[in-house]
Chains A and B, each alone.
Chain A
Amino acid sequence: EADIYQTPRYLVIGTGKKITLECSQTMGHDKMYWYQQDPGMELHLIHYSYGVNSTEKGDLSSESTVSRIRTEHFPLTLESARPSHTSQYLCASSAELTEAFFGQGTRLTVV
């Protein structure tokens, strides 16, 4: 069982609200990632980090932002949620030669 946790699991929120999706891992991994996935569809990388204070945007443009102040914590923030942000957000972490370990995901619905 992977030690990576995402909260909340489900979130329904109104348009214009600010939200933060939490992701924490206890494996000491340097690398962390956020992927966006519509149900049953492919995963799109939106942010990644190779260590503290190191973040980069992924392949899919996203209005969200991330921070990496501590190794174990990689939160994702949307300043003003919109219905187009409705999706599942998956957080993952890895070491250099290991597979990526995924959290259970946060299913976000913006109404």
Chain B
Amino acid sequence: AQSVAQPEDQVNVAEGNPLTVKCTYSVSGNPYLFWYVQYPNRGLQFLLKYITGDNLVKGSYGFEAEFNKSQTSFHLKKPSALVSDSALYFCAVRANTGRRALTFGSGTRLQVQP
């Protein structure tokens, strides 16, 4: 079975400060890892992914994430938060083999204060 844990229901950060949204995963074999963002009444928008290669992945809107195999983590980061980054963020995982769909975490609401 595969699973994702996002331990924080909400993260609050001041505009201009760095932000981190945490994600840990469990999967058999090597993971494919993803971050998505969701704005109210919308579908999910893709931010970035780790398939293979460099552990630091850069994505859309200045976001990046670091894959840490030993800690089974894939935390989302941004050096300087914007108020417009306020949204719901989902981490997702799937195994690189087998007939598996994406498994999502429970989501973390990011609130950036002006």
Contact with A along B83-114 (1 / 0, CB 8 A): 00000101010000001011111110100000
Q: Are B43 and A99 in contact (CB under 8 A)?
A: no
Interface SS of A by simple majority: strand
- Of B43, B46, B88, B102, the residue contacting A33 (CB under 8 A) is B102
Cα distance A43–B36 when bound, in Å? 12
Q: B101 to A102, Cβ gap below 8 A?
A: no
* Chain A hits for B36, CB < 8 A: 102
Number of A-B contacts (CB under 8 A): 52
| Beta-carbon contact of B104 and A42 below 8 Å | yes
Q: In which size bucket is the chain A interface?
A: 20 to 34
B43 touches A104 (CB 8 A): yes
14 contacts between A and B (CB under 8 A): A31-B101, A33-B102, A35-B104, A40-B107, A41-B107, A42-B106, A43-B44, A50-B99, A56-B99, A58-B101, A99-B46, A100-B34, A104-B43, A105-B42
